[in-house]
Structure 1
Amino acid sequence: MAGVGSWFGRGLLVIAVFAMVLVGVSAGAVPLQRRAAAAPAPEPVVLRVMPLGASSTVGAGSPETAGYRGPLQALLARDGVTVDMVGSQHGGPASVPDRDYQGYGGMTLEDLLPRVAGWVRGADPDVVLLHAGTNDLLKGASAQATARRLDAVLDEIAKVTDAHVIVAGVWAPLRGDPNDRAEFDRLGAEVVAGFRERGHSMRYADASELLEPDELADGLHPNAAGYRVIAAMWERQILAVTGRRATP
């Protein structure tokens, strides 16, 4: 019987200890093993995009969308890309979330050359969207001269940034010799390829057949539908240089 009593006593002791543990936990005692604290969610990576060019960058033909800038932001947001549009200018309707850009109506590559390094340095972009050359051709510069100006502008950009630079060719139909646009596209692509061979992240997008006649507002500038097409072109190029995928 002594053995039974000893076993019974030990059993009561175990029950008493277990009860004390339960009381301690219910009273707010710290458990023996804590759950690891959840790691804070990482901050989203913000892509700084600099729209750079002339009147189509401003949004001529579709001020209600700020040209391609409004639709482009919507597309990138759908893709999960957080964008900060950069540039020293600010314009567009309140419906466009970020209205910063660098564009001047009528500006040629020749006009851009002495200013572009300072603008790009100040904006500190990750991606530059350059659309220029149309006004050079419209004002009588040859395709060869316009391509040389493009080369000089890209050289100035490359001196101050290692950002991705995406160059879009002329998307507007031009008065005069239609071969000028085709020749500039050919030469412009060669200029950009030369920078790529020297290690710069640059791409050339041939936009010569991008727009249909009914996607132009005035025969020169795109309308809202045309700018949506252009925005989709920029989206594809941006995703390509940043290694991202579009959302279907």
Structure 2
Amino acid sequence: MRRRLGRVGGLLGIVAVVLVTGFGVRSDAGVDPRAISPAADTPSVRALRIMPLGSSSTVGAGSLGTAGFRWPLESLLARDGIAYDMVGSQQSGPAAMPDRDHEGHGGWTMARMQPLVAGWMARQRPDVVLLQVGTNDLITGVPPAVVAQRLDTMLRTIRSTSTAGVIVAGVWAPLRSRLPARAEYARLAAAVVARHRSAGEPVTFVDTSTLLGPGDVADGLHPSAAGYRKIAAIWEREIRSFVTIRH
């Protein structure tokens, strides 16, 4: 669902780019984003289509009242003046949340997602994919090398069906019983993303393995509201970089 949001403050680099391209940033400073209703794109602004793609943390398990990282992220994008449209086949989150669309599927492994990825890309046409996968694969005992191969396959599928930039986050769940596998997957996932990046693809890897502290986890697996705020800040930083570089 498209949201057109007011700009508060600077981001001069992004604004300078958007003045030329008309992509993603509005100029109605000081407007409360909750007071702006969805509307069609104007000739000067095209909303950035963002697909949060993952499993239960994308849904928001551990902090359903904030829809996990999604509502805090929307607040940060509103502050930045980035007009966004969250996209996906799923909807969840508090009724007051500006945009409840996402592609989060609780409990799913990459193997279960893979047959559907091409269709999601074709139907939703994202500009940016926030990809956080691999946790459930590791929990179910899939070897890290196989999980990394699944990530490679998913990135290839996204690239074959979409021009979207992909921001890949590592596993942020503690997985205390799977620490060696978690660490090995982080290394392999970074290498997979580096290969795609060296081929000229708009993809980046964010290592989130040390992001969450003891007070940032709600149930031993999913982040708390505080943890999700940290995750939202990571996504927001990478989205800003994407807008600046690509446009």
TM-score range, shorter chain: 0.7 to 0.9
Q: Is the 8 A contact 1:213 1:219 kept in 2?
A: no
Query: What amino acid is the match of 1:113?
Result: Q
Q: TM-score, normalised by structure 1?
A: 0.80
**5+ residue gaps in structure 1?**
1-40
Superposed CA offset, 1:20-41 (max 9, x none): xxxxxxxxxxxxxxxxxxxxx9
- CA shift, 1:242, in A, is 1.3
Output the CA distance in 1 between the equivalents of 2:63 and 2:96: 13
Q: Please give the residue correspondences for 1:23-34 in structure 2 after superposition, counting only pairs within 5 Å.
A: none
1:115 alignment partner in structure 2:
116
Counterpart of 1:183 in structure 2 is 184
Whole-Å Cα distance in 2 between the matches of residues 225 and 186 of structure 1? 26
Mapping 1:90-239, distance limit 5 Å: 90-239=91-240
SS across alignment from 2:204: strand
Q: Does 1:55 align with 2:60?
A: no
User: Which segments of 5 or more consecutive residues in structure 2 lack a partner in the other structure?
Assistant: 1-41
Partner amino acid for 1:59? G
Q: TM-score, normalised by structure 2?
A: 0.80
Query: Cα–Cα, structure 1 residues 177 and 93, in superposed 2: closer, same or farther, change >3 Å?
Result: closer
**What are the superposed Cα offsets for residues 97-153 of structure 1, whole Å, 9 maximum, x if unpaired?**
000000111111111111111111111000000000000000001111100110011
Counterpart amino acid of 1:150? L
Q: Measure how far apart 1:42 and its partner are.
A: 5.3
Q: Which structure 1 residue ranges, 4+ long, deviate > 2 Å from structure 2? A: 41-45
Cα contact 1:138–1:175 (8 A) shared by 2: no
Q: Could you report, residue by residue, the CA deviation over 1:70-108 in whole angstroms, capped at 9, with x for unpaired residues?
A: 000000110010110000111110221000000111111
Letter of the aligned partner of 1:204 in structure 2?
Answer: F
Residues 195-223 of structure 1: CA distance to partner in whole angstroms, max 9, x if unpaired? Answer: 11111100000000011111111010011
Which residue matches 2:243? 242
Return the alpha-carbon distance in structure 2 between the equivalents of residues 203 and 138 of structure 1.
24
3-state SS, counterpart of residue 43 of structure 1: coil
Percent identical pairs in the alignment equals 55
- Match of 1:219, SS state, is coil
CA-to-aligned-CA distance 1:219-243 (integer Å, 9 cap, x gap): 1001111110000000011111111
SS in 1 for 2:177: coil
| Residues matched between the structures, number | 204
For 1:35, the equivalent position in structure 2 comes to none
